[in-house]
Structures are given as structure tokens and as C-alpha cells.
Amino acid sequence: DGGITQSPKYLFRKEGQNVTLSCEQNLNHDAMYWYRQDPGQGLRLIYYSQIVNDFQKGDIAEGYSVSREKKESFPLTVTSAQKNPTAFYLCASSIRQYSYNEQFFGPGTRLTVL
Amino acid sequence: AQTVTQSQPEMSVQEAETVTLSCTYDTSESDYYLFWYKQPPSRQMILVIRQEAYKQQNATENRFSVNFQKAAKSFSLKISDSQLGDAAMYFCAYKGTSYDKVIFGPGTSLSVIP
């Protein structure tokens, strides 16, 4: 079955540590996205990528980094510079950005800083 | 900049009844796309319905329909014959054709009362 997988489902981090969230898709989609979800704030865009080896900052990129070395993979690193990283993180993909095609979402990763 | 507003943080509906969720948006573009996404307690986001701004006809998907008022920049979602499985967070989203990001509203939490 085609879809988006995110791992791990739950992640605990100590302050000062970097952690990497995995996102893999086998939908052959060009574009991939990372969102952060906090209660009452909807989804906020962290980073997005239209093609391999290219990505752009979203609205809240500070303290995060990404890479896009393969079409199917778009990992997100939460660095120690991110002051309040506890949140639910969603990865999404779409066929092309400049069309009406919707985004498909992964199941999410819940990150908690201890 | 484009914005999406959902003025109802929480709503409830009796099973089998009809409920309407409100969404307004702000844009200077004439062509764009609008979406309603559902996020159930599992937190897996799925597309409910989409609307192309150049189409005057309101989109319909089974029990879900929209009331798209372009001049008023309003995009409400009507759920008919509400079912227990409709209980979820609903997000309204905007995507411009010349804009490579999707803007999400803050969401409306819908409860279905048996």
C-alpha cells in the first residue's frame, strides 16, 4: 500500500539533545512538508521541499533543519536551538505544489522534551 | 499575506443531525483552492473535500458539502446525517496557485452526541 510513514510514533528528548524525525513516502510525490501542531494553533509549516536536494524555510524554521537527499525521504532534525520543541509533528507530501492536489499526511510523531 | 480563520473552536451536533462549520479567508488572488481536512482522535489527517475558486458550483462528497461564497471569502462545511465517526478536528485550508504553501486555519473540534 502506498502512503507516508513517520517514525518513531513517540520520541522523548533531553534538553540540549538533537533528535531526528523520519518521514518516508512511497507515493512518488515530488513535494514534501513538515508541520508542527500545537493545541489551538492548527498546523504551522516548518520546512518544505519541491524536489530532491532543494528545500525552503516555512514560517517557523528556527531551531530545525532538514535534508532531501532522496525523493522518498525528508527527515527533520530538531536541534537544541529549538526552545520549545514539545509538540506533535506531521509530515506530508503532494504530487505537485502548483496544482489543486491535496496533501497526504503521515501518522505523526509526538515529541516530548524531558 | 493569506490568512484562514475558523471562528468556532468547538462545536457539537446530535447524531443524525446537520452541522455547519465556518471558515473565512483573506487573499488578493483570484484563483486558488480551498480544502477541508479531518483529524480524528487517531490524529491521521485526511482530506474531506476540496473546492476550486474558479468553479461556482459547490463541491459535494456524500454527506459533506460546502457553501463557497467567493465574494465574501467564506467556505463553510456542512455535514449532514452526522455520525459518531465524524467526531474530529476539522481544518480549513487555503492554497494559492502562485503560492507554494498551504495555509491552515486553527481548527474546529466537532463532538457528536449519541
Each residue's pLDDT tens digit, B89-101: 999 999 987 656 8
Which among B33, B44, B101 has CB closest to A105? B44
CB contact under 8 A, B91 and A90: no
For residue A50, give Cα distances in angstroms to A28, B17, B38, B89: 12, 42, 25, 28
Query: pLDDT value at position A60?
Result: 95
Residues B69-88: pLDDT tens digits? 999 999 999 999 999 999 99
Q: Is B6 exposed, middle or buried (0-12, 13-18, 19+ CB in 10 A)?
A: buried
* Three cell numbers written together for A54: 532543494
B-facing residues of A in 50-109 (CB < 8 A) are 50, 56, 58, 88, 90, 92, 97-98, 100, 102-103, 105, 107-108
> pLDDT tier at A100 (50, 70, 90 boundaries)?
confident
Q: Hey, are the CB atoms on A45 and B52 less than 8 Å from each other?
A: no
The answer to whether B70 and B25 have CB atoms below 8 angstroms apart is: no
Question: How far off is chain A from B72, nearest CA to CA, in Å?
Answer: 21
pLDDT class for A1, splitting at 50, 70, 90? low
Asked if A50's CB is within 8 angstroms of B43's CB, the reply is: no
